[in-house]
Amino acid sequence: MSLTISHPPTEFTLDPTIENDEELGKAVGELLYMRHAHEQFQAAIKLQIAELKKQAEAGCSVDVRDADEPVSVGEYAEKLHAAIESYSRKNRAKLLERGKKSRDFTHGTIGWQKKPARIDIAAGKTSADVVQLIKDSAPSLIKRLRGVLASLSFMGTRQIALVAEPDIKLSKSNAQNAYDAKQLSDKHLKKIGLKYFPGSEEFYVKPHKTPLKPEAA
């Protein structure tokens, strides 16, 4: 059994650029349809047996006028998103009404949304690295925890304390709360492999509803 999701030829080039608002609207419609088609496709191929997966993926493509062969819908959707975002950022003041952070088109909405500040693992580190750095930065605390365990005599806890390590787990939400309360600084975070990422605006393209298949020219 094979799976094919067809798509009419796109009006854009392999590396799409957007020159005006009309083209922006068309690009938004094509992007949202391609995303929807790709999501349907991805859900469908999960039902296919493993040996047919490559054949199924090959069927999810779109003809691009300056490409030698059909291009993956997922890959081309990323290119369209990049073109839409580039045009929208350059023309934000013209596209948006004063005080607005989004604009509606026939098939969907483009806009910017606030991405909250967060504490996360620094580049080049892993969760295990952070836990080890926490242990290394607070050896006296670990020693006191061992002492507490060793002082307990019930259920063989004393013997367990001789061979076990206290279970230290990373809680980014606790770190965020401590940072917000100014109990942790950027210097403290860096010492244990964490980093504060300030809030930022994130560009998005969202459908109004299930995108309709674009009409062929």
Helix axes of 139-151 and 127-137: crossing angle, nearest 10 degrees: 80
Whole-number Cα distances in Å, 53 to 7, 40, 44, 58 = 20, 15, 10, 9
pLDDT of residue 141: 58
Residue corresponding to tokens 């929807």: 36
pLDDT of residue 198: 84
Burial of 71 from C-beta contacts in 10 A (0-12 / 13-18 / 19+): middle
d(CA 94, CA 113): 18
pLDDT of residue 147: 61
User: Which portions of the chain are predicted below pLDDT 50?
Assistant: 1-2, 153-155, 158, 217
pLDDT of residue 41: 80
Residue among 116, 133, 128 nearest 188 (CA): 133
Whole-number Cα distances in Å, 116 to 52, 175, 197 = 42, 15, 9
